[in-house]
Structure formats: structure tokens, C-alpha cells
Amino acid sequence: MNTRFPERKPAPRWRRRKDTRPAEILAAALEIFGERGYDATRLEDVGRRAGCTKGTVFLYYESKSELFKAAVREAMLPQLRETEKLVDEHRGGARELLESLLRMRWDHMERTRLSGLVRLLLTETGKYPELARFYNEEFIDKNQTLLRRVIQKGVDGGEFRAVDVAQAARVVVSPLLFAAVWRHSFDQVVPAPVPLELYFETSIQIMLAGLATSNVHQTV
């Protein structure tokens, strides 16, 4: 799926050298949505940061919600594809695959500028059911499907205990969500910041041992 260009408008103008391209508009949109939230983002500011006018933004995206969805797809689809590739191509055990998948998700959160987006989704989707539905259908649900596949593989192969697979898929990612919430709300005010890498490593240990059929021979 090509998200770099809008589907509805053929937009031949992008071929002209000096025009602002959709990709630049989307990058600017993602930054500003992340910094200010959905409500406070204005299309003129997105245009200004992308080096064009509000009119040019509207040329490509019919509304703020269309711009938002396009920017989220631009940011999230490559990550989803990378995760799908990992699961499809993995040849080892389920435990190893689950660990790789969780590390990949963590890396995606840490190395991209998506913490602002996570904050937006946590704080504003309650007000905008359409955005919540979009995000759930296109990303959460697909990521959960991958996690269920991996956990089911572990249960079927005897590596994991007979847990409820759908709920376990939610439990194993909940520490990542905690980290995003913490960074947004509390990290700025506590005297000593949470050592997030150590937190993440601890969560990996607990989740893997918690799913394993036997953890007696594991080192910690």
C-alpha cells in the first residue's frame, strides 16, 4: 500500500520541483500533531513547517482527520511491515520470536519520534471515536494478531503454558504502554527518572518466564 501519495487526488503537481511534496507535509504534520495534540494542530502551521500554504495542504488532504490518518500511516506502516516480516520469516522457537518481536516494538518506540503520537492517541482518542477506530483497525488489531500467532505457536509447541492467547497478547505489551504514559505524564516531575532500559529488560524477563512451560533452568 502506497501511503506517500493521496489516493483521491492524482496531484500531478508533485512532479514540479519546487512544490512541497506530500511526504514533507506528512512529516511536518506528524511533528506538529505529536507536539501539540490533535485539537491544537492547525493546518496553516503544518503548511508553514512544510514550506507551503494551508491551501497546498488541503490540495492533498481533505480534512484534518484525513491528514492525521495519512501521517499516522506514513509513520506506522513501515513498522508494522517490519514486524510482519519478522514473524513470517522466523524459523526458531516461539520464545525467541516473542522476545525479538517485543524488542522490535520497544526499538520502534524509542528510536522514532512517536512518543508524541502515543500521547495523542492516549489523550485524545476518547474524544474522537473515529480516530480510535482507525488506529485500532489499522495498527493495534494487526499487531495483536501477530502477537497471538506467536503465542499460539508457543502454546501449540509446548514452549508456553496454556494461557488465554488473546489476553496474553495484550498483557505482554502492557509494559510498553506504561512506559509511554510515564514518559508523557510523570517523568518530568519525579526526582529520579525511571531507568527505562532496565524497566524494559525486567518486563521481558518476567513475561518470558511467565509464559514458559518451565523456567527452572533459566538464568536471570
What is the contact surface with a copy of itself in residues (CB under 8 A)? 119, 121-126, 129, 132-133, 136, 140, 161-164, 167-168, 170-175, 177-178, 181, 184-186, 188-190, 194-195, 198-199, 201-203, 205-216, 220
Query: Which residue's CB is nearer to a copy of itself, number 70 or number 155?
Result: 155
User: Across-strand partners of 160?
Assistant: 212
**DSSP letters along 4-64, please?**
SS-SS---GGGGSTTSPPHHHHHHHHHHHHHHH-TTT--HHHHHHHHTS-HHHHHHH-SSH
Query: Which residue's CB is nearer to a copy of itself, number 55 or number 195?
Result: 195
The least distance separating a copy of itself from the CB of residue 210, rounded to whole angstroms, comes to: 3
Query: Which residue's CB is nearer to a copy of itself, number 77 or number 194?
Result: 194
The least distance separating a copy of itself from the CB of residue 64, rounded to whole angstroms, comes to: 19
The least distance separating a copy of itself from the CB of residue 174, rounded to whole angstroms, comes to: 4
Query: Which residue's CB is nearer to a copy of itself, number 65 or number 205?
Result: 205
73-77 contact pairs (CB < 8 A, 24+): 73/1, 73/3, 73/138, 74/3, 74/4, 74/23, 74/26, 74/27, 74/30, 75/30, 75/112, 75/114, 75/117, 76/114, 76/138, 76/139, 77/1, 77/3
Query: Which residue's CB is nearer to a copy of itself, number 77 or number 163?
Result: 163
Give the residue among 137, 98, 148, 122 at the shortest CA–CA distance from 114. 122
The least distance separating a copy of itself from the CB of residue 9, rounded to whole angstroms, comes to: 28
CA dihedral 190, 34, 83, 181 (to 10 degrees): 30
The least distance separating a copy of itself from the CB of residue 63, rounded to whole angstroms, comes to: 19
Residue 7 grid coordinates? 489516493
Run of H or E including 161: none
The least distance separating a copy of itself from the CB of residue 46, rounded to whole angstroms, comes to: 21
Query: Which residue's CB is nearer to a copy of itself, number 82 or number 145?
Result: 145
The helix/strand/coil state of 74 is: helix
